[in-house]
Structure 1
Amino acid sequence: MNLKELAALLDLSTTTVSRALNGYPEVSVATRERVVAAARRHGYAPNQVAKRLATGRTLAIGHVIPLARHQMINPLFAEFISGAGETYSIAGYDMIASVVPEAEETEAYRTMIAQRKVDGILVHTPRLLDTRIDLLRDLGLPFLAHGRDSRPERDYCWIDINNRRAFLRATDLLLDLGHRRIGFLNGMEHLHFAQRRRSGHVAALSARGIEPDPALMAHDEMTESYGYESVFRMLSLPDPPTAFLASSIITAFGALRAVSELGLRLGADISILTHDDDLSHMPNSGAVPLFTATRSSIRAAGRRAAEMLIALIERPETAPRSELWEVDLTVGRSTGPRN
C-alpha cells in the first residue's frame, strides 16, 4: 500500500496523512491516532530510499545503552523501545542501538554523530545533572530526553510524567487511609525521576506534620528481589510500616511476595500502592485491579517520544519541545484503612 491508497482508504488528503504520520502539531490527536492505526493495520511504510535521496538524511535514530547495573535493560526499557519502534517504522526510520561499557558512552555518541549514522538521538533515564545533555547540545544533533535532569527545562527537549505530583497523590491516599508509617521503595536516586518521586512523597508527609523516617526509605534498582528484601527488612523494625509505596510494579510484586510469606493479608494487614507503567506482559487490570496504582503507559511514552524527536529532526522551528504527562490514580485491592 502506498501513501495515496492509504489516504483514499481513510478519506483524507495525502498531505494530512503524511503530516499525521510525521507528528505535525496541526493534525489533531484523534486524526493522528486513526492514521497511525490504519498504517499499522495495513502494513504501510514509506519508501525509505526515495526519502533518503530527497532529504539527505540517514532516516535513523540512535540509542546508546551503557552496560551499567542501573540501566533499564528490563521490561520497562523493552516496553518503551517497542512503542518508539512502532513510530520509527511507520515514519520510515530505522533504530540504531549501541550497547557499550558505561565508560565508553560518551565516545559512542561522538562516533555515532561523526560517522553520520543517525539523524537524532533519544536519551534514556537522565541523571541529576546529565553531562550527556551538554555533550549532545554541543555536538549539534537533534536529541530528546525521556525524562528530565535538574537544569532549566527550557534548555533541551524532553518528555516526562509528573513524578512529583504522582507520588504526592499516592502518599496522600495512604495518609487518608490512616497510614502514618509508610515504607518507600524508590528507584536509584542519582536518577532524576527518583529524586522527583522522593520529593513528592516527603512533601505529602511534611504537609501532615510527619517527619520522614530514613529507616522507611530505600532506593535501588527496581527489581522484584529489591522489593522482597526491603519489605522483609522494614517489617522486622520495632515500629514497622503499615503500608508501602513502590516505584515500580516489578518492585511491588516483590513486596507482595514478602507480605504473603509473612502471612499478612494484602489490603487488610498491609497496604501496597505502586507506580504502574502499564506493562503489556504484566498487566494490572481487571474490574478491580490487584494494585492501587499511579498509572502511565510507557509504551505510549515511547511512541510519543519518537514522534517528537522525528518532528524535531524534520521541522525544528515548529516541533514541540517538551511534554509533561499527568498520571491516573486507580484504586485496586492492595490498599485499605490502617488496622
Structure 2
Amino acid sequence: MNLKQLSETLGLSQTTVSRALNGYPEVKEETRERVQAAAAKHGYRPNSWAKGLATGRSMVIGHVIPSSSQHEMVNPIFGDFVAGAAKTYADHGYDMMFSNAEDTSIEKAYRNLFQRGAVDGVVLQGPKVNEPRIDVLTRMGVPFIVHGRSTGVTSPYDWIDVNNKRSFQRATQFLIDLGHRRISLINGLEDMDFAKRRRDGYLAALKEAGLEPIPSLMRSAEMTEVYGHHETRGMLQLDHPPTAILCSSMISAVGVRRALDEAGLRMGQDVSVIAHDDDLSYLKNGQDVPIFTATRSSVRMAGELAAEMLINRIQAPCEPVMTQLLEAELVVGRSTGPAPN
C-alpha cells in the first residue's frame, strides 16, 4: 500500500496522513492515532525518500570513519554499536551512511556532508582525551552525539557513555578484596578517553587500598587478542609476575587466557582475570556460567540509546544538552579467585 491508497482508505489528504506519520504537532492526537493504526494494519511504511520530501530532511544519519580508525570496522564492539543504532534508525524511518575521511580533512568531510544535505546528523565514536571533532561539529552548529566523552573538551555537547572509571575502580577493588596485590592493567590506547578513565579507576582503587602502582604491570596498546597474549607472556616472565590481570576488552582477555594456558597456569586459581565488554553478539562470555569475571555493559544497547538521542536532537535542536551515563554490571565468572599463597 502506498501513501495515496492509505489516504483514500482513511478519507484524508495525503498531506495530513504524511504529517500524522511524521510527528507534526499541528495534527490532532485523535487523527494521528487513527492514521498510525491504519498504517500498522495495512503494513504501510514511508520510505526514506518520501519521508524526506515531507519533512525537508535527508532521513540519513552519518558515521564518518577517520582513515586511522578504519580497522575498527571489523571490531565486534563497533559492529554491536552500529547494529543497535541501525535498529533505532529503522524504527524512525532513517537510513545510515558510512563515510571515510583522512584524519587531516575531517572538518572538510563533515562540512561536505551537511552542506549538500546528505545527512541530518552524525555519530562520533572513539573520542580521544582531547577530541578536535567535537569542537568542529559544535562550531558548525549541527546535530551530533558522541559515543563516549572527551575530558579535554569543556563546551557542552550530547553524549552517552559507560562509567569507565567507576567500572574499573570496582573491578580492581574486587581483586584487592580477594587478596591480590600485584594487579596488572592491560588497557587500551591511553590517548583514548575511555582508556584514560579506566586507568584512573584502577589507580583510584589502588590508592584507596594503600597500594603503590607498579609501572611494569601497566600496559597500553590497541586492544587485540595478540596484544593481550604478548603482554601477558612478557609479564609472566617478570621476577614478580602479577597474580591478577584487569583487561580493557574481552578480545584482549582471550589473548591473556591463551598465554596462561601456554604457561601451564590455571586461570582463576594461579592468575585471576577480569575483562570488560563481555556482552557482545559474536563473542559471548560462556553460556550458563560466565568464563570471565567481567564488567558488563551492552554496546548494542548503547547504540540504540545513542541513535534515539540523536534523532531527538534533530527534531528538537534547541533543547538543552542531553547526556546519559550508563553503569556497568560486575558479573562474577570462573576467571577469578583468591590470591595464591
TM-score bin (small chain):
0.7 to 0.9
- Measure the CA separation in 1 of the matches of 2:43 and 2:79: 22
Q: 1:47 to 1:127 in 2, by over 3 A?
A: same
Is the 8 Å Cα contact of residues 276 and 295 (structure 1) preserved in structure 2?
Answer: yes
Is the 8 Å Cα contact of residues 267 and 336 (structure 1) preserved in structure 2?
Answer: yes
- Runs of at least 4 residues off by over 6 Å: 1-4
Question: Does the residue aligned with 1:237 lie in a helix, a strand or coil?
Answer: coil
- Measure the CA separation in 1 of the matches of 2:84 and 2:139: 28
Residue 229 (structure 2) pairs with residue 217 (structure 1) = no
Q: Look up the match of 2:334.
A: 333
The C-alpha deviation readout for 1:217-247, integer Å capped at 9, x for no partner, is 0111110000000101111111110010000
Q: Give the superposition deviation at 1:295.
A: 0.2
Is the 8 Å Cα contact of residues 157 and 321 (structure 2) preserved in structure 1?
Answer: no
Is the 8 Å Cα contact of residues 45 and 90 (structure 1) preserved in structure 2?
Answer: no
Residue 126 (structure 2) pairs with residue 163 (structure 1) = no
Q: 1:259 to 1:18 in 2, by over 3 A?
A: farther
Q: 1:245 to 1:178 in 2, by over 3 A?
A: same
Q: Look up the match of 2:203.
A: 202
Is the 8 Å Cα contact of residues 278 and 284 (structure 2) preserved in structure 1?
Answer: no
Q: Look up the match of 1:32.
A: none
- Measure the CA separation in 2 of the matches of 1:50 and 1:265: 60
Q: Look up the match of 1:100.
A: 101
For residues 166-245 of structure 1, the aligned pairs below 5 Å read: 166-245=167-246
Q: Give the superposition deviation at 1:78.
A: 1.2
- Measure the CA separation in 2 of the matches of 1:164 and 1:175: 16
Is the 8 Å Cα contact of residues 224 and 251 (structure 1) preserved in structure 2?
Answer: yes
For residues 1-339 of structure 1, the aligned pairs below 5 Å read: 45-68=45-68, 72-73=72-73, 74-151=75-152, 155-318=156-319, 321-339=322-340
Question: Does the residue aligned with 1:294 lie in a helix, a strand or coil?
Answer: strand
TM-score by length of 2: 0.85
Is the 8 Å Cα contact of residues 278 and 285 (structure 2) preserved in structure 1?
Answer: no
Q: 1:217 to 1:2 in 2, by over 3 A?
A: farther
Is the 8 Å Cα contact of residues 273 and 335 (structure 1) preserved in structure 2?
Answer: yes
Is the 8 Å Cα contact of residues 276 and 284 (structure 1) preserved in structure 2?
Answer: no
Question: Does the residue aligned with 1:260 lie in a helix, a strand or coil?
Answer: helix
Q: Identity over the aligned pairs, expressed in percent? A: 50
Pick the structure with greater CA Rg: 2
Q: Give the superposition deviation at 1:43.
A: 8.0
Q: Look up the match of 1:25.
A: none
Gap runs ≥5 in structure 1: 5-13, 23-34
Is the 8 Å Cα contact of residues 308 and 319 (structure 1) preserved in structure 2?
Answer: no
RMSD: 2.6
- Measure the CA separation in 2 of the matches of 1:18 and 1:198: 47
Q: Give the superposition deviation at 1:291.
A: 0.3
Is the 8 Å Cα contact of residues 131 and 153 (structure 2) preserved in structure 1?
Answer: no
Gap runs ≥5 in structure 2: 7-16, 25-35
Query: One-letter code of the match for 2:132?
Result: T
The C-alpha deviation readout for 1:255-274, integer Å capped at 9, x for no partner, is 00000000001110011001
Question: Does the residue aligned with 2:337 lie in a helix, a strand or coil?
Answer: coil
Q: Give the superposition deviation at 1:129.
A: 1.6
Query: One-letter code of the match for 1:68?
Result: S
Is the 8 Å Cα contact of residues 44 and 90 (structure 1) preserved in structure 2?
Answer: no
- Measure the CA separation in 2 of the matches of 1:155 and 1:71: 29
Q: 1:213 to 1:313 in 2, by over 3 A?
A: same
- Measure the CA separation in 1 of the matches of 2:215 and 2:280: 30
- Measure the CA separation in 1 of the matches of 2:43 and 2:61: 21
Query: One-letter code of the match for 1:125?
Result: G
User: What is the number of equivalent residue pairs in this alignment?
Assistant: 310
Query: One-letter code of the match for 2:192?
Result: L
Which shows bigger deviation, 164-173 or 94-103?
94-103
Question: Does the residue aligned with 2:72 lie in a helix, a strand or coil?
Answer: coil
